[in-house]
Homo-oligomer: A and B are copies of this chain.
């Protein structure tokens, strides 16, 4: 994985255990989120973004269960999914800064990270919008003889929209090897998840009743996420969809400018983190020197990424109209360019 290589450059040895790997990846994701938040505060970014801080176990556990040639689609809260799949921290942060070294050349921003070469097909800013993409792409790979699979991440809010169950149904019908990951962080913006679905795990019950293999995992235990992820990924490789609901906690506000104190207690996120931080929970199983090695490598990687992202060029305004169509001669005004 790209991120592991990045860390190795900063003298972390091999990440020998699953715990070390999870720890390293989760820390990297969190550090990227923290860096983005910091730079946002310093006004390097305008516009919004959605932090996955505190939810890292889902992205990390699932990502570690995947192969390089697997495909991922994600949602608006996708920085962790991207990093986990191997999008460089630089490309993520630079996209946030809208630089040409961003993963979409700086024209997408926070909700439009795409990196085909590492299989991160990408985010979408429409809740539930990427589910068909993942399953159609995975189904094609299978058809072409590959056992690569796709993972489609979406939130609990997405499950309130019919598209989620519908996409699972269609994937099941056509036997698309797609793992649907429902990251239940307790909220769809200001709408509490349990008010819509009942307690965490309720969504899994529904998908189970659809006769699609489904598991519910408490995301405070990253190792458990990884293990269940591996099981399901293995099952999906046999050519069927599956579903996993991971209960996580949205530590930060919905998006950077969200007045979440209006609908949940102030500091609720921070308090949860103090008590349950899944990254901290991993420490016990990792040697202290290795923890430090990882920490300093992560911080070096993120510093480098921030630096590189900041130094990226802004897109030329003359570039604004490029690439709407693949067809030769079709630009924004079509006909005029054809002739």
Interface residues of A (CB under 8 A from B): 160-167, 169, 173, 195-196, 198, 202, 205-206, 208-211
Return A328 CB to nearest CB of chain B, in Å.
38
Task: Tell me how many chains of this kind the complex includes.
Answer: 2
Chain B residues whose C-beta falls within 8 Å of the C-beta of A209 in the assembled complex: 205-206, 208-209
Q: Do residues B211 and A195 form an inter-chain contact, with CB atoms below 8 A? A: no
Chain B residues whose C-beta falls within 8 Å of the C-beta of A160 in the assembled complex: 166, 169
Given contacts A162-B163, A162-B164, A162-B166, 6 further A-B contacts (CB under 8 A): A160-B169, A162-B162, A165-B206, A169-B196, A173-B195, A198-B211
Cα distance A162–B206 in the bound complex, in angstroms: 13
Cα distance A162–B160 in the bound complex, in angstroms: 10
Chain B residues whose C-beta falls within 8 Å of the C-beta of A195 in the assembled complex: 173
Cα distance A198–B209 in the bound complex, in angstroms: 11
Q: Do residues B173 and A196 form an inter-chain contact, with CB atoms below 8 A? A: yes
Interface residues of chain A: helix, strand, loop or mixed (majority) = helix
Return A276 CB to nearest CB of chain B, in Å.
27
Cα distance A303–B130 in the bound complex, in angstroms: 55
Cα distance A198–B210 in the bound complex, in angstroms: 9
Ranked 8 nearest A-B pairs via Cβ: A162-B162, A162-B166, A209-B209, A205-B209, A206-B209, A162-B163, A165-B165, A162-B165
Cα distance A164–B164 in the bound complex, in angstroms: 12
Cα distance A196–B166 in the bound complex, in angstroms: 11
Chain B residues whose C-beta falls within 8 Å of the C-beta of A164 in the assembled complex: 162
Cα distance A205–B210 in the bound complex, in angstroms: 8
Q: Do residues A166 and B173 form an inter-chain contact, with CB atoms below 8 A? A: no
Instruction: Please indicate which of the listed interface residues A162, A196, A208 has the most CB atoms of chain B within 10 Å of its own CB.
Output: A162
Chain B residues whose C-beta falls within 8 Å of the C-beta of A196 in the assembled complex: 169, 173
Contact residue among B166, B206, B210, B211 (Cβ-Cβ distance under 8 Å from A161): B166
Chain B residues whose C-beta falls within 8 Å of the C-beta of A205 in the assembled complex: 209
Cα distance A209–B206 in the bound complex, in angstroms: 5
Q: Do residues A202 and B211 form an inter-chain contact, with CB atoms below 8 A? A: yes
Contact residue among B173, B198, B202, B206 (Cβ-Cβ distance under 8 Å from A206): B206
Cα distance A264–B33 in the bound complex, in angstroms: 56
Cα distance A179–B160 in the bound complex, in angstroms: 19
Cα distance A167–B165 in the bound complex, in angstroms: 12
Chain B residues whose C-beta falls within 8 Å of the C-beta of A169 in the assembled complex: 160, 196
Chain B residues whose C-beta falls within 8 Å of the C-beta of A161 in the assembled complex: 162, 166
Return A45 CB to nearest CB of chain B, in Å.
34
Closest to A162 in B: B162
Closest to A169 in B: B160
Closest to A208 in B: B209
